[in-house]
């Protein structure tokens, strides 16, 4: 009987329970889950602080890596190593906070050989999204070795963005609200660490241009400040809303400096883009994984870590081993 974290509308919201196999959704591929992880969206779902989950009872978890147990789809066979991220899993469809889950074949990506299941979820949606941002910036013409700003730098997306950009030879400038993590961000590869407070005031329409590229997982006033401080033809990948969904800016960065705002989505991105991004991720050297901060937990600690994440008390990655 697979164990799972089940969300209920009435208290207690989070319960670790044993599921009967017959409780699992009827979908083509049954996967034994080795690892899942905790993303910002998971934290909103688990705590109920965001309107992510609408149907109860519900198994959250927007991503997982695991091994196919049984398949009714020609593309997958028992023993195949697979990754799932996005597609509304953990939002509309039961997700990865379980020992086994049944999913649609179209939601899966084969796990590239060099990646262990653990490494795949050390990256998870966060690493995939950071890589999608890098690919978006590169496709838009980000010059090699240029200065790139990363906001929300100690978060999952942010810390992978710092590591990957540094590995690829960019000069990374990291923005964080966690002063105590400055040294760690430098170890990940940040050339300079900036205090979040510098990005929280209302900016003038244009400030001194400092960066040619940026990856922003914060939104709100932070993104407005980033846009105002981009150099001529600057490129900004906007990917998150940890600081707000509004964007109090003007058209000036766009029409006077030719700045581009590049929206980046990992949830519905087509299969071939995902596979290409995972291929790039699988070539990352071990050192990047060794330097990532990891808190590995079982299903029973997810609720506590989700609260901590929304309170800004988590850095790096929270890895979930459902068998722990
Ligand atoms: N578009 C997509 O497909 C996609 C995919 C993945 C994630 N996302 C979004 O990207 C964002 C980050 O996700 P994540 O999983 O990396 O979350 P996370 O691990 O919680 O990281 C978010 C980081 O943002 C910073 N932050 C938090 N609250 C803030 C505030 N009020 N003002 C300014 N900065 C704040 C913090 O970094 P510091 O303390 O270092 O400043 C925090 O660590 C979320 O909004 C998430 O929904 C989008």
Q: What is the pLDDT of residues 292-319, one digit of tens each?
A: 999 999 999 999 999 999 999 999 999 9
**Ligand 1 centroid to residue 137 C-alpha, Å:** 19
CB-based contacts of 71: which residues, under 8 Å, 6+ apart?
Answer: 28, 29, 30, 77, 78, 80, 105
Q: Given this model, what pLDDT does residue 21 score?
A: 85
**Rounded to an integer, what distance in angstroms lies between the CA atom of residue 125 and that of residue 38?**
9
Q: What does the mean pLDDT of the chain come to? A: 97
pLDDT in tens, 184-228: 999 999 999 999 999 999 999 999 999 999 999 999 999 999 999
CB-based contacts of 8: which residues, under 8 Å, 6+ apart?
Answer: 14, 15, 56, 57
Largest CA distance in the chain: 61
* Ligand 1 proximity of 310 Cβ (cutoff 6 Å): no
pLDDT in tens, 273-282: 999 999 999 9
So what's the architecture of 3-114+292-320 in CATH? Alpha-Beta Complex (3.90)
Q: 290 — phi, psi (to 5°)?
A: -70, -30
**Percentage of the chain modeled with pLDDT above 90:** 99
What is the position in ligand 1's atom list of the atom closest to the CA of 86?
3
pLDDT in tens, 249-271: 999 999 999 999 999 999 999 99
CB-based contacts of 11: which residues, under 8 Å, 6+ apart?
Answer: none
Residue nearest to atom 33 of ligand 1 (CA): 243
Residue in 104, 79, 101, 127 with CA at minimum distance from that of residue 289: 127
Q: Given this model, what pLDDT does residue 64 score?
A: 98
* CATH number belonging to the domain at 126-263, selected among 3.40.50.970, 3.40.50.720, 3.10.20.600, 3.40.50.1970: 3.40.50.720
Residues 37 and 126 sit within 8 Å (Cβ to Cβ): yes
pLDDT in tens, 234-250: 999 999 999 999 999 99
What is the position in ligand 1's atom list of the atom closest to the CA of 129?
5
Residue nearest to atom 9 of ligand 1 (CA): 240
* Ligand 1 proximity of 36 Cβ (cutoff 6 Å): no
Q: Given this model, what pLDDT does residue 322 score?
A: 97
**Rounded to an integer, what distance in angstroms lies between the CA atom of residue 41 and that of residue 51?**
10
What is the position in ligand 1's atom list of the atom closest to the CA of 196?
41
**Percentage of the chain modeled with pLDDT above 70:** 100
Residues 149 and 213 sit within 8 Å (Cβ to Cβ): yes
Residues 38 and 305 sit within 8 Å (Cβ to Cβ): yes
* Ligand 1 proximity of 203 Cβ (cutoff 6 Å): no
Residues 25 and 71 sit within 8 Å (Cβ to Cβ): no
Could you tell me which residues are beta bridge partners of residue 17? 4
The residue whose CB lies within 8 Å of the most ligand 1 atoms, and thus the one to mutate among 38, 40, 180, is 40
Q: Given this model, what pLDDT does residue 95 score?
A: 98
pLDDT in tens, 115-161: 999 999 999 999 999 999 999 999 999 999 999 999 999 999 999 99
* Ligand 1 proximity of 88 Cβ (cutoff 6 Å): no
Structural domain boundaries in the chain: 3-114+292-320, 126-263
Q: What is the DSSP string of 98-113?
A: BSEEEE-GGGEEEPPT
């Amino acid at each position: 009987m697979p164990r799972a974290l089940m969300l209920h509308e009435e208290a207690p919201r989070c319960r670790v329970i044993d599921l009967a196999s017959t409780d699992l959704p009827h979908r083509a591929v049954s996967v034994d889950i080795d690892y899942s992880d905790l993303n910002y969206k998971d934290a909103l779902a688990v705590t109920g602080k965001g309107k992510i989950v609408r149907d109860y009872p519900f198994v959250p978890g927007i991503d997982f890596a695991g091994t196919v147990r049984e398949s009714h789809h020609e593309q997958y066979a028992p023993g195949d190593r697979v990754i799932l991220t996005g597609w509304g899993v953990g939002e509309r469809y039961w997700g990865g906070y379980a020992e086994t889950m049944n999913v649609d074949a179209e939601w899966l990506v084969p796990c590239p050989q060099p990646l262990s299941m653990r490494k795949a979820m050390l990256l998870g949606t966060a690493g995939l999204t950071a890589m999608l941002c890098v690919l978006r910036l590169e496709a838009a013409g980000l010059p090699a070795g240029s200065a790139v700003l990363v906001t929300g730098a100690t978060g999952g997306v942010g810390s992978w963005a710092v590591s990957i950009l540094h590995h690829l030879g960019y000069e990374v400038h990291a923005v964080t609200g966690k002063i105590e993590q400055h040294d760690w961000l430098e170890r990940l590869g940040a050339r300079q660490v900036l205090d979040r407070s510098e990005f929280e005031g209302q900016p003038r329409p244009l400030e001194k241009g400092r960066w040619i590229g940026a990856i922003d997982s914060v939104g709100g006033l932070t993104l407005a400040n980033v846009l105002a401080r981009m150099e001529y033809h600057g490129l900004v990948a906007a990917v998150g809303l940890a600081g707000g969904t509004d964007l109090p800016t003007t058209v000036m960065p766009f029409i006077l400096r030719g700045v581009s705002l590049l929206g980046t989505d990992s949830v519905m991105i087509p299969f071939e883009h995902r596979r290409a991004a995972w291929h790039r991720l699988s070539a990352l050297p071990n050192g990047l994984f060794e330097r990532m901060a990891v808190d590995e937990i079982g299903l029973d600690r997810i609720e506590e870590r989700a609260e901590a994440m929304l309170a800004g008390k988590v850095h790096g990655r929270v890895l979930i081993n459902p068998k722990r």
